[in-house]
Amino acid sequence: MDQSGKQMLKGVSRSFYLTLRILPGPMRGAASLGYLLARTSDTLADSGRAPHELRLGFLEQFRAAVAEGRDPPRWPVSFLNTVADGRERRLLEGSGDLVGWLGKLAAGEAALIREVVEIIISGQRLDLVRFAAATREHPVALSDDTALEDYAWRVAGCVGAFWTKLGFHTLGNRFSISTEADLLDRGVAYGKGLQMVNILRDVGEDLSHGRCYLPVANPLDGTALAECHSRWLEVAHRWLREGERYASTLRSRRLRTASILPAWIARKTLEPLAGASWEQLQTRTKVPRSYVYKCVFRAFMSAPGSMSR
């Protein structure tokens, strides 16, 4: 990864930048590029000031560039001006370099990246269609638990599978004491758990934009939302435990640290949400950077098999 790639990565991530820097060298490049491509598609999908159909069209153009090797799109200045965050705008401006980087990777690594980005974009496209008519006054909720779990798989569970496949592809039997088949389910559960943390943390902010990922009959019913939130909080903890078990099977200290760090940060994020009222859920929680560094040190000091809290 060149210096511009490192700067893009550091600009659009916080704790995950640190996670990727800890990874062993053979995994680091492909994992970093996969993350940047997924963040690029997320920026395209979430540019709220741009017309809905325009975002869908640009998302498809980007998907084709990644999946089919087409020339990367050139984003109109009028669209770039709808992206308020300067770091995300620079990410879009550098998307051509990212697609070029993908074309230079070894075939096996590139295929894994294309697979996971395709799945992620399918979830982002589904989001755009599902919430096309949603507003703060008339929010739209997911229909049922199956729809929520499917969404969590598309945008994050598939990343757990990608991480596992990439680890075995690049490191072979140096990756884990478990088999790839044994780890895939745990990796998927871990990814879904991390996505559920985002959903549970951001429920108030999402609702202000008309989006409700929690499956409730009436998204404006605070009592029902709080009850549903509490139920899925338990699910998130269960999935995060799978992530901790996943990390405990990894052979190297760097791998274990990089893999367990998101779970520990996620658990810290969930702490103030337990038993919170609907009013309290309106405030978004944020993990202090000092806690992140504390987790890195603790993870490096942990012995194999002792990664759980």
User: Last residue of some domain: 122, 142, 175?
Assistant: 122
If asked whether residues 105 and 144 sit together in one domain, one would say: no
143/111 same-domain check: no
pLDDT of residue 18: 78
Q: For the residues 284-303, what does the mean pLDDT come to? A: 72
Domain co-membership, 149 together with 218: yes
d(CA 215, CA 40): 28
The boundaries of the domain holding residue 103 are: 1-122
Lowest average pLDDT, out of 7-16, 245-254, 268-277, goes to 7-16
Q: What is the DSSP letter of 46?
A: T
pTM metric for this prediction: 0.91
Q: What is the model's pLDDT at position 291?
A: 75
Q: How many CA atoms lie within 13 A of 233 on its CB side?
A: 21
Query: Residue 5: pLDDT above 70?
Result: no
Shared-domain flag, residues 85 and 135: no
Is the model's pLDDT at 284 over the cut of 80? no
Indicate whether 35 and 158 sit together in one domain: no
Residues 243 and 150 in one domain: yes
Segment (H or E) for 49: none
134 has pLDDT over 70 = yes
Q: Verify that 56 and 172 share a domain, yes or no.
A: no
Q: Identify whether residues 172 and 288 lie together within a single domain.
A: yes
How far does the chain reach from its first CA to its final CA, in angstroms? 33
Of the candidates 122, 141, 170, which is a domain's last residue? 122
Closest CA to 142 of 164, 126, 119: 126
User: Do 285 and 143 lie in a common domain?
Assistant: yes
Number of domains into which the chain is organized: 2
Q: What is the mean pLDDT of residues 252-278?
A: 89
CATH number at residue 253: 1.10.600.10
Answer with the residue of higher pLDDT: 29 or 287: 29
Q: Are residues 154 and 291 in the same domain?
A: yes
Indicate if 32 and 63 belong to the same structural domain: yes
From CA 3, how far away is CA 146, in angstroms rounded? 42
What pLDDT is attached to residue 93?
92
Residues pairing with 176 in the sheet: 250
Q: DSSP secondary-structure letter at 108? A: H
Domain boundary among 68, 103, 122: 122
**Is 80 found in the same domain as 145?**
no
